[in-house]
DNA sequence: TTGGGCACTTACCAAAAGGTGCATACTTGT
DNA sequence: ACAAGTATGCACCTTTTGGTAAGTGCCCAA
């Protein structure tokens, strides 16, 4: 149904294509993709793995500031379950494990590039807006007190 | 925060690569971008507005199945606050309001195209994996009972 | 013997996101 | 008179997500 290339076709307004989706559970390709990379640390993990950064667990742990063991493991496991990341256990003592992107992970990384670019180009705009939103949120919180 | 290099500890052995958009690597803006489109209904709203679908509130409401008034309004307001969507109130009676993408919104839509494509191309893979994950989750839940 | 690093695991808790349902004010159609 | 449609707002609740702190078993170095 939702061919994403329609996203930019500024063609004449077609009759409302009633959202007939969800044969498998996703409304469109975009939806599926977002569910796969949604997660507080997944973009960063992807970022490191894609550019050949740290690959061992502990390295990732130290490279990504403020991430906890629980979260890092959790997100890595999900990425692995989703087929984006491959875990290699060398079964040594002390333990040695490293992580890398699968071909699927690499292809996703490539699809993410324009999004990264957009974010960088509009960084000022986006940060400004988020600062505003958070300021407003904290105002409301203080009124509750 | 939206610049990954902020999250890198410039410390240890693996020299931290600069935040430059090398080929398979992400750029700094990925995080920022994801925060802007993260939201259960935002991709769909974007989808409809980008392709010249329904623009009036009620039309969107009917086009996106299962969305509630509260959620639709909420997400529209956030998109508006983020500068991606423009709200036009015709101040008529009965009320008439429509929504459209701003230039910024259009540019984001374009950046989203590869992501949509990836999702569609790998839909089978992704759905399979998610079905598995949910099956496993519900098994754990039943064990708790 | 104590302490650290390795790669996790678990139990518990807080915050955020999402959902339900009712209410508004005004008009048109029956 | 009454229902239905217009675009929202609000109170309350549940689900999902993220975070903290502690513990596991193994080994090495001081």
For the segment A112-135, what is each residue's pLDDT rounded down to a tens digit? Answer: 999 989 998 998 888 888 877 777
pLDDT at site B90: 94
What pLDDT, in 10s, does the model give residues B74-122? Answer: 999 999 999 999 999 999 988 999 999 999 999 999 999 999 999 999 9
Distance CA A64, CA A96 (A): 19
Stronger pLDDT, A60 or B143, i.e. the higher one = A60
DSSP, residue by residue, chain A: ---GGGGT---S--S-------SSS-SSHHHHHHHHH-STTHHHHHHHHHTT---BHHHHHHHBTT--HHHHHHHHHHHHHTTSEEEEE---SS--EEEEE-HHHHHHHHHHHHHHHHHHHTHHHHHHHHHHHHHHHHHHHHHH-
The set of strand C positions with any atom below 7 Å of a protein CB reads 5-11, 17-23, 25-27
pLDDT at site B17: 35
> 10-residue block means of pLDDT along chain A (145 residues)?
37 32 59 91 93 90 93 97 95 94 95 91 86 72 56
Q: How many CB atoms lie within 10 A of CB B52?
A: 17
- Is there a contact between A64 and A41 (Cβ–Cβ < 8 Å)? yes
Distance CA B76, CA B84 (A): 9
In DSSP terms, which residues pair with B56 in a beta bridge?
A: B98
What pLDDT, in 10s, does the model give residues B46-68? Answer: 989 998 878 999 999 999 988 99
pLDDT tops 70 at residue B16: no
pLDDT at site A53: 80
pLDDT at site A39: 93
Could you say which residues from 11 to 50 on chain A have a Cβ atom under 8 Å away from some Cβ of chain B?
Answer: 11-14, 16-19, 24-38, 43-44, 46-47, 50
- Option in A7, A51, A121 nearest B25 (CB): A51
The set of strand D positions with any atom below 7 Å of a protein CB reads 5-11, 17-23, 25-27
pLDDT at site A33: 92
| φ and ψ of B22, to 5 deg | -75, 175
Distance CA B100, CA B86 (A): 5
CB contact under 8 A, A51 and B24: yes
pTM of the model: 0.81
CB contact under 8 A, B26 and A50: yes
pLDDT at site B140: 64
Write out the residue limits of the CATH 1.10.10.10 domain(s) in chain B: 39-144
B35 CB inside 7 Å of strand D? no
The contacts of residue B127 (CB under 8 Å, 6+ apart) are: A24, A25, A26, A32
Find the Å distance, CA of residue A94 to C1' of nucleotide D28.
Answer: 10
May I ask the CATH class of domain A39-144?
A: mainly alpha
Taking CB atoms and an 8 Å cutoff, what residues of chain A touch B53?
Answer: 13-14, 16-17
Could you say which residues from 93 to 132 on chain B have a Cβ atom under 8 Å away from some Cβ of chain A?
Answer: 104, 106-123, 125-127, 129-132
10 Å CB burial of residue B122 (0-12, 13-18, 19+) is buried
**What are the Cα distances from residue B111, in Å, to A110, A119, B29, B104?**
12, 10, 12, 11
pLDDT tops 50 at residue B129: yes
Distance CA A82, CA A33 (A): 11
pLDDT at site A143: 58
pLDDT at site B104: 95
The contacts of residue A13 (CB under 8 Å, 6+ apart) are: B52, B53
Find the Å distance, CA of residue B70 to C1' of nucleotide D10.
Answer: 10
What's chain B's average pLDDT? 80
B141 CB inside 7 Å of strand C? no
pLDDT at site B86: 96
């Amino acid at each position: 149904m939702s061919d994403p290339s329609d996203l930019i076709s500024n063609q004449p307004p077609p009759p409302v294509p009633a959202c007939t989706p969800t044969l498998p559970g996703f409304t469109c390709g975009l939806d599926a993709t977002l569910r796969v990379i949604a997660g507080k640390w997944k973009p960063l993990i992807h970022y490191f793995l894609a550019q050949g950064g740290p690959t061992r667990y502990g390295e990732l742990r130290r490279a990504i500031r403020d991430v906890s063991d629980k979260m890092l493991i959790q997100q890595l496991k999900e990425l692995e379950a989703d087929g984006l990341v491959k875990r290699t256990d060398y079964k040594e003592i002390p333990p040695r494990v490293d992580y890398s992107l699968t071909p699927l992970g690499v292809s996703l990384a490539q699809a993410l590039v324009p999004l990264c670019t957009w974010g960088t180009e509009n960084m000022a705009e986006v940060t400004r807006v988020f600062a505003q939103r958070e300021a407003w949120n904290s105002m409301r919180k203080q009124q509750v007190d």
